[in-house]
Amino acid sequence: MREALAQARRAYSPGEVPVGAVLVCSSGAVLSAAHNLVESLHDPTAHAEILCVRRAAAAAGNWRLHDTTLYSTLEPCPMCLSALALARVDAVVYAAKDLRLGVCGTWLPVHEEKHPFHTFRDVRGGVLEDEAAELMRHFFRERRAEGKAARGDSCGSAHLGCNGT
């Protein structure tokens, strides 16, 4: 998870949502690591987890990533958890809960559903949760402040015609 957090920090400075992921095989060797590149690539699917799967599959020459665990700094969204299931990733370990899109029990418990060809061996969260959650809070606090400054909006309501006074 420490490497996933390092990846998340790399995403921070270019303005990407600071999410990092690392895919590890059963021996503990890192197969791939990535951070969000949604903004940089103008690609809504360029989540850290998806990029990890793509890189590991390309390196392995096989899209089936059996005997692997994905570590992510944020609870996977529906798209990412589906990709992990399709890639046959065995386990998912995440740090912070995603209150809006998390499908490992926070928003929806999708990981508990039996799938015809793949069931996760283990899905758990809360590993280094405070550190990952603080990174996300700081990022979004900073982004909101930048947005208000750019709009000259002190109350956050420029879209309603409010001049902030």
Catalytic residues: 49
Q: Give Cα separations from 94 to 58, 63, 119, 151 (angstroms).
A: 23, 22, 17, 35
d(CA 20, CA 18): 7
d(CA 81, CA 75): 9
CB 35 within 8 A of CB 18: yes
CB 66 within 8 A of CB 88: yes
Is residue 120 classed as helix, strand or coil in its secondary structure?
coil
Is residue 78 classed as helix, strand or coil in its secondary structure?
helix
Comparing CA positions, the residue from 63, 22, 14 lying closest to residue 41 is 14
Is residue 75 classed as helix, strand or coil in its secondary structure?
coil
